[in-house]
Amino acid sequence: MTSAALNIAVLYPDLLNLYGDRGNARALERRCTARGIDALVTAVNIGDDWSPQSADIILAGGGQDREQRRVQADLQRRGSALRDYVDDDGVVLAVCGGFQLFGNHYRGWDGEIMEGIAVFDAVATHPGPSVSRCVGNVVALWEGETVVGFENHGGRTYLNDGQDPLANVVSGFGNNGGDGLEGARVDNAFGTYLHGAVLPKNPHLADRLLQLALQRRYGSDAPELQPIDDRTARRAHAAALHSALSTRDSRESRLGRRFA
């Protein structure tokens, strides 16, 4: 087979880019290039003439309520094409504000509902400005491995019955700080609250997205993902893990002291 290629689309990169979420595209691109796979990254902005059918991986980052409101109508008009793409095993990574809008709806801090595109069977609700936000480092268990990231969200996501989470929280809040669940997964669509950006410091998750996209596009001709020198990414993962777990341990020992 001649060299493989992947099209990576980033939805609203100027508006949904909290904590450098656009870095997810850079990480995928870099991991492709290091293996001789061509990666073409396309920005999709409000009003652009673009079809999800041209994509192998679609990324949506986080944004505050104001930015979410700005993209919402445009995302809605693409909703059915995006759902078809997911039904056709298209790969998606939607982070935080993007994750909320890929659910059924998000009720923002002012109580107004923003309709989502219902890729995930989940609703997100912001309990209002007087309630603390979910902020800090997160560690979650995903398929027996750790994923790490940073979260900062007021909205709480609740998965409806039958909707699988992406991962289970080890440390941090995750979807809502109550049920121990992090993110959601439908076919090859991944939703998560993890910023970071998440893929540069979770190389195993990045490779999973690439692998799924290559399999979908090339079937049995899909190239194997060869190991690459990603020591920096693995060090970033280890450092984030250490920092998240030591914050949790010191918080627990403070609480333990107080309530002992």
Active site residues: 96, 195
Say if residue 168 is exposed, middle or buried (CB neighbours under 10 Å; 0-12, 13-18, 19+). middle
The CB-of-234 to ligand GLN minimum distance in angstroms stands at: 25
Q: Would you state the structure tokens that stand for residue 80, as one six-digit string?
A: 């059915």
Report how many helices (DSSP H) and strands (DSSP E) the chain contains, helices first.
6, 14
Q: How far apart are CA 152 and CA 56, in angstroms?
A: 28
Select the residue interacting with ligand GLN from 35, 153, 201, 208 (CB under 6 A). 153
The answer for residues whose C-beta is within 8 angstroms of residue 252's C-beta and 6 or more apart is none
Select the residue interacting with ligand GLN from 63, 149, 174, 196 (CB under 6 A). 63
| Closer residue to ligand GLN, CB minimum distance, 13 or 63 | 63
The CB-of-65 to ligand GLN minimum distance in angstroms stands at: 5
Select the residue interacting with ligand GLN from 90, 103, 116, 154 (CB under 6 A). 154
Q: How far apart are CA 191 and CA 184, in angstroms?
A: 5
Q: How far apart are CA 191 and CA 120, in angstroms?
A: 8
Only one of the segments 46-54, 57-65, 137-145, 167-175 lies at the binding site for ligand GLN (rule: CB under 6 A); that segment is: 57-65
What residue number has its CB nearest to ligand GLN? 62
Backbone angles phi, psi at 206, to 5 degrees: -60, -45
H/E stretch holding 124: strand 122-125
Residue 122 is a binding residue for ligand GLN (CB under 6 A): no
Q: How far apart are CA 104 and CA 67, in angstroms?
A: 18
Only one of the segments 56-64, 75-83, 140-148, 170-178 lies at the binding site for ligand GLN (rule: CB under 6 A); that segment is: 56-64
Residue 215 is a binding residue for ligand GLN (CB under 6 A): no
Dihedral of CA atoms 21, 24, 25, 26 in degrees, nearest 10, equals 100
The CB-of-189 to ligand GLN minimum distance in angstroms stands at: 17
Residue 149 is a binding residue for ligand GLN (CB under 6 A): no
Select the residue interacting with ligand GLN from 23, 52, 62, 203 (CB under 6 A). 62
Residue 172 is a binding residue for ligand GLN (CB under 6 A): no
How far does CA 104 lie from the centroid of its chain?
Answer: 16
Give the count of alpha carbons within 13 A of 228, CB side only. 19
Select the residue interacting with ligand GLN from 13, 23, 52, 155 (CB under 6 A). 155
| Closer residue to ligand GLN, CB minimum distance, 32 or 175 | 175
Q: Would you state the structure tokens that stand for residue 86, as one six-digit string?
A: 């997911």
Select the residue interacting with ligand GLN from 7, 45, 64, 211 (CB under 6 A). 64
| Closer residue to ligand GLN, CB minimum distance, 31 or 97 | 97
Task: Point out which residues bind ligand GLN (CB under 6 A).
Answer: 18, 62-65, 68, 96-97, 126, 152-155
